[in-house]
Structure formats: structure tokens, C-alpha cells
Amino acid sequence: MSLKIITKRCKGCGICATFCPKQVLAVSEIEKIEVVNEEACINCGQCEMRCPDYAIFVEK
């Protein structure tokens, strides 16, 4: 797993999903971010850089 999501911190703003170039992420029904297409992740770090809640990190 290259993406580490700290669900407790996520507020479901969807910024990471908006800027993900590969549509790896989506906001779930309970307004938390989830990985929907892990294989497509290219570890670009856009989600980590833009998350205002320190809730998603790319582990290399």
C-alpha cells in the first residue's frame, strides 16, 4: 500500500480527489476519502501536498 490514509483526520473535502491525475481517490458516502483504483497510483504526491488535514500521505 503506497497511500496511507488517516481516516480520523479526513473531513471529506475532496481536494485530493480533485487534483489526483489518475482518479485513484473518491469521497465515500460517509464523507471520508477512499482509494478506488490503487493500481493507477503513480505516487505523484499531489494528494499529500494539497490535503489541508494531514490525512493522506504517500509512502515510498
Partner 1 sequence: MSYAELTEKYFRPGRLPHIWCPGCGHGITTGAIIKAIDGLGLDKNDVAVVSGIGCSSRASGYLDFNTVHSAHGRALPVATGVKLANPELNVIVCTGDGDCTAIGGNHLIHAARRNINVTVVLFNNNIYGMTGGQYSPMTPTGSKASTAPYRTIEQPFNITDLVQAAGATFVARGTTFHTAQLVDLIKKGIQHDGFSFIEVVSACPTSFGRANKCGSPGDMMKWQRDHAVMKLAWDKMDAEKQAEAKAAGKFPIGVLFETNAIKEYTKAYDEVIAIAQGGKK
Q: Which of 26, 35, 44, 48 binds partner 1 (CB under 8 A)?
A: 48
Residue 4 binds to partner 1 (criterion: CB under 8 A): yes
Please work out the total of residues on this chain that contact partner 1, with binding judged by CB under 8 A. 22
Residue 49 binds to partner 1 (criterion: CB under 8 A): yes
Measured in residues, the chain has a length of 60
On whether the CB atoms of residues 19 and 44 are closer than 8 A, the answer is no
How far CA 9 is from CA of 39, 40, 42, 48, in Å, comes to: 24, 24, 23, 13
Residues lying near partner 1 in the complex (CB under 8 A) are found at 4, 8-9, 11-15, 17-19, 31, 48-55, 57, 59
